Amino acid sequence: MKESPNTEPCAIRVAKLHRNLKLLHWDAGAWALMNGAAEAYFVAFALAAGLSQVSAGLVATVPVLLGALLHGITPWGVRHAGSLRTWTAGAACVQAISLAGLAACAWTGGISAPMLYGLVTLYWAAGFATAPSWQTWMPTVVPKFIATHFWTARNRTVQACLGLGLLFGLVLQWGRDEHHEMAAFGVLLSVACLARVASTGLLFATGEPQPELVKRLERPSVAQLKRDLGDRSIRSLILYMLAVVFSVQVSGAFFTPYILDELGFEYWQLMCIFAITFLSKVVALPGVGRLAKRHGPGVLLWLGGIGIVPMATLWLVSDSIWWLMSLQFMVGIAWACWETATFLMVFDTIPSDRRTAVLTLYNIAHASAMVTGSLLGATILRFVGIDRAGYAAVFVSTGLMRLMTLFLLAGIEPRRFKLRHSFDLYMQTLGIRLGAGTIDIPQVTETSKAPRVPEPAHPLDVGSS
């Protein structure tokens, strides 16, 4: 009979811990390489395959919603698999299969719209499916006493390899110059697929110290969701967040078609815009974290909420690559503030035993807001015209909608919010969006109780409606 981990000699337990941490570091690199080389260029692949600007733009949103809806089967799937590790690694394997399908289509020279949407939906469904099991599994692998050091170091690996993955976009420039554009996408997607295959093997090799935790993941019931969303302050915060997502995606889904088809930029210029957005967020996060500790998340939320309002409209000022890169640098900083603030407020406001249900529902609502916003943007483009005037209408519309979200933010009165707990918060980026932030999975370690401060009956005090 296999020994219980508690009866194993200390040296063996330390060796297993060291091995698991090393595997997770390698997995971080492989996963981030896949992310940078694949997901950031899905819309560009759709354009190269011959889809219209509107259909290609919707590749960035519609499959995300379908994937988020399939995410609801995760609790059932984990229980059926009987292991958090098996389910997580299995979902990663499915993601690799979706990338293999995309790569095969690229190598053969073309892909139909239904096939593209189907494979990208499978990619997102598998990605979302890993989130609940990953978040339950990881705290059992990484002990609290080294969590801060480990996740900080792992995030550096993620950032470096994500940046390297984005640089693989230079292959696309070579392909366009040599008139082998689809073959270049084949190379890019093959690299991403191989990276995810490596990541899958590393996840399977990582230990599962507490396999009994598989029973903790439960499908949220309607009664649970009503209870979890019964608090007015939680509803108001989530409503504001969804309003921002909706307004941003009116334009966010169509930045890549605008850059490549309307402005006629090269792939290397698209890569630079992606890279500067990501780099500015990485550079800003340490300072943003210090600002949150000193002044609270409310100040961050106002800075980010105001900062993202004019950015899309400012794209109309100039077509210069330097102007657009400067704007995207500011976009990355604004989203670093907004995303850090909202994650902190959500994780401090919602008790730990209720977060999975609330965040599962939020993921679906988030994806729904993305799709609804992008469909509105598509409608504006089709009505005004898929040309400069149409894109101007989209960018102005999204700016006005973002401005209106500030009224919702004022109703929350976020500056009165005080953190009750001390968190180490790490965001694992699932996807990069031009002008629309990133799609992240938070990894949270609660480190200590913060000093008690005078606060309202609930940590989020909603003002008069």
Per residue in 340-395, pLDDT (tens digit) is 888 777 766 666 555 556 666 777 888 899 999 999 999 999 999 999 999 999 99
Tell me what pLDDT residue 146 has: 83
Tell me what pLDDT residue 34 has: 92
| Of 437, 464, 55, 46, residue with least CA distance to 247 | 437
Domain boundaries, the chain: 18-219, 220-465
State which CATH number among 2.60.40.420, 1.20.1250.20, 1.10.3720.10, 3.40.50.720 fits the domain covering 220-465: 1.20.1250.20
Tell me what pLDDT residue 349 has: 64
Tell me what pLDDT residue 373 has: 94
| Of 315, 330, 324, 322, residue with least CA distance to 391 | 315
| Of 365, 456, 354, 368, residue with least CA distance to 415 | 456
φ/ψ bin of 428: left (φ > 0), alpha (ψ from -120 to 50), beta (otherwise)? beta
| C-alpha–C-alpha distance, residues 176 and 119, integer Å | 24
Answer whether 18-219 and 220-465 agree in fold.
yes
Provide the CA 219 distance to its chain's centre, in angstroms.
Answer: 22
Query: Superfamily for 18-219?
Result: MFS general substrate transporter like domains (1.20.1250.20)
Residue ranges in the chain whose pLDDT is less than 50? 1-5, 421, 448-465
